[in-house]
Amino acid sequence: MSDRDAGETRRLRDAVARVLPALELFIRYEGEDRAGRDRDTWRSALDRPLPDHGIGFESLLEELATTVIPYGLRNGAPGFSGWITTSPTTGPAVAAFAAAIAGSQRWWVQPFNLLETVGLRWLAELLGLPSSWQGTFSSGGSTANLIALGAARQHAFERLGIDPARDGLAGAPRWRVYASSEVHHVVTRAAAVLGLGRMSVRTIATDTVGRILTPELRAALDEDRRASIQPIAIVATAGTVNTGAIDPIAELATIAGEREIWLHVDGAYGLFGRLDDRVAPLYEGLEMASSVAVDPHKWLAVPLGCGATFVRDRALMGRAFTLEPAEYLEGAASPGEIGSAFGEFGDLYHDFNIEQSAQSRGVTVWAALAEIGRDGMRARVRRHNSYARQVERRVRADPRLELLAPATLSICCFRYRAPDMSDDGLDRLNAKLAQRLRDETPFVPSTTRVGGRLAIRPCFINPRTTLVEVDGLIDAATRIGDELSVLD
């Protein structure tokens, strides 16, 4: 029997040297994206039965370099504006690589642990959140919102003498969560996971821009109060994924304050918008919220798997998510108890979260902000918001284009308009237009529906995008639209 493990544990230089050329080529985003065309090639190479004997380190690197990396996801390409996630910038990506090797757990007294705390503090400072709030990283907006709503649930039921984290919700009075019809569906799912139920989210209509109508919210709250339904939270969206609309936070804070309801702000995408003075006033009242969620893996462009929650009441977070002491996990024991071989555990986050073991994420946020600072991030956000305004200007100036939602942040929704065509016909034309953009050009927005109409929706958060791609998108959309409307 050999003592040697089959997995290579050193040879980092060989590994990096082998895959580096493929990675460098990849991030130039040159040539055609062959992932679709060559799908059979890489699928049949990769999707094989579990091997009894591994192919070994060299062959593994070879496969990564030739069969995986070249066909990777090109959402970091400069012309890609389809999603609100992008490929990370280099510094944070390398920080994540470093963490995988040197910081493979976020606890204990070591720099990666400290950087969880520093990363959260810097984020709070960047976004203008009070430093007294409890922050915690998690895997993204889905979990960040779930954690915030877990705290809201704790808050609402503790006031009725119920500890929902300990005892569950059996016997609790009926309850509800309030949000606009533009609320992200992960919020609804969070209600399901927390045992509140998807149906407990009461959605409130929005104005044409996509902002919650507060008179309708007040009416819904009044109606539910008369029916003795317990409000759990009002969820404001600060940057909807469809149009980038920002709910009137200050007004919602007033409503929540009057009725002592938890106000959660889902700013997964849009909270960074606060850095642009042109829209900063829309975030007034944020410090009156009870919790916020934000995704560094969106606009801050750190590697995917990084969301953050901040909650005003630190103790509440602990009661909602405590792990309870565990014998083998000495850090969970209260201070002063019999010590353990691990002594200090550093800053611990697993009592504010739904994860125990987790990668170090703070290091990526720290890396992004250490590299470019507040000014660099402010310039990025401002530039991207200006791109959306450039789209808006060009759409307004061209009779063939129709603005479907104005730019609040870095999204601008529009469609191509052919004269005398029905809304159904325009929906079909614009769907085809979007498909052709994706198939034939480097400009790849997504589509959505605004007021029932199919919209072309570029969202600019990609650090590699320049004005060339913004104008290129509009040029290509009008050209293809012209062709399609002649054909039709």
Ligand X SMILES: *Cc1c(COP(=O)(O)O)cnc(C)c1O
- Residue 140 near ligand X by CB under 6 A: yes
Instruction: Out of 119, 141, 331, 458, point to the residue binding ligand X (CB under 6 A).
Output: 141
Give residues 221-240 in contact with ligand X (rule: CB under 6 A): 237, 239
HSE-CB for 64 with a 13 A CA cutoff = 15
Stretch that binds ligand X, among 3-11, 140-148, 255-263, 404-412 (CB under 6 A): 140-148
CB of 230 to ligand X, least distance (A): 24
Which listed range, 58-66, 135-143, 256-264, 318-326, lies at the site for ligand X (CB under 6 A)?
A: 135-143
Instruction: Select from 25-33, 35-43, 134-142, 404-412 the region that touches ligand X (CB under 6 A).
Output: 134-142
Stretch of 139-147, 326-334, 399-407, 476-484 contacting ligand X, by CB under 6 A: 139-147
Does position 268 interact with ligand X (CB under 6 A)? The reply is: yes
**Residue 273 to residue 282: CA distance in whole angstroms:** 9
Of 61 and 245, CB closest to ligand X: 245
**Segment near ligand X (CB under 6 A); pick from 88-96, 138-146, 343-351, 405-413:** 138-146
Between CA 488 and CA 486 the distance in angstroms is 6
**Tokens representing residue 237 in the block:** 């969206």
Does the protein bind ligand X through residue 182 (CB under 6 A)? no
Long-range Cβ contacts of 192-198 (<8 Å, 24+ apart): 193/146, 194/146, 194/149, 194/150, 194/153, 195/164, 195/168, 195/169, 196/149, 196/153, 196/169, 196/232
- Does residue 116 belong to the site contacting ligand X (CB under 6 A)? no
Nearer to ligand X, 186 or 365 (CB): 186
Minimal CB distance to ligand X: which residue?
141
Q: Which is nearer to ligand X, 145 or 462 (CB)?
A: 145
Residue 231 Cβ vs ligand X, minimum distance, rounded to whole Å = 21
Is there binding between residue 384 and ligand X (CB under 6 A)?
no
Closest to ligand X by CB, 82 or 141? 141
Pair of tokens at residue 148: 């915030």
User: In whole angstroms, how close is the CB of 124 to ligand X at the nearest point?
Assistant: 19
Provide the 3-class DSSP secondary structure of residue 408.
coil
| Contacting residue, 81, 134, 138, 142, with ligand X by CB under 6 A | 142
Which contacts qualify for 13-22: CB closer than 8 Å, 24 or more apart? 14/61, 15/57, 15/61, 18/61, 18/62, 18/64, 18/65, 19/61, 19/64, 19/65, 19/69, 21/65, 22/64, 22/65, 22/66, 22/69, 22/70
* 266 touches ligand X by CB under 6 A: yes
- Per rule CB under 6 A, is residue 241 in the interface with ligand X? yes
Residue 296 is a binding residue for ligand X (CB under 6 A): no
88 binds ligand X (CB under 6 A): no
For the record, the structure tokens of 9 come out as: 């544990």
**How far is Cα 411 from Cα 407, in angstroms, rounded to an integer?**
6
Q: Counting contacts by CB under 6 A, is residue 220 touching ligand X? A: no
247 binds ligand X (CB under 6 A): no
* Residue 377 within binding range of ligand X, rule CB under 6 A: no
Least distance to ligand X, CB of residue 302, Å? 12
Size of the site for ligand X (CB under 6 A): 15
- Confirm if 414 and 395 have CB atoms less than 8 A apart: yes
- By residue count, the chain amounts to 488
**Tokens, residue 462:** 């990609």
User: Would you say 450 and 242 are in contact if contact means Cβ atoms under 8 Å apart?
Assistant: yes
**CB distance 157 to 213 below 8 Å:** no
CB atoms within 10 A of CB 107: 22
Which residue in 137, 157, 262, 269 binds ligand X (CB under 6 A)?
269
Q: What angle do CA 66, 306, 97 make, to 5 degrees?
A: 40
Q: Is 186 in the site for ligand X (CB under 6 A)?
A: yes
Write down the least CB distance from residue 411 to ligand X, Å.
Answer: 10
Neighbours of 35 (CB within 10 A): 13
CB nearer ligand X, residue 113 or residue 237: 237
List % helix, strand, coil for the chain (3-state, nearest 5). 45, 15, 40
Between 152 and 480, whose beta carbon lies closer to ligand X?
A: 152
Among 70, 76, 119, 307, binds ligand X (CB under 6 A): 307
- List interacting residues with ligand X (CB under 6 A): 84, 140-142, 145, 184, 186, 237, 239, 241, 266, 268-269, 295, 307
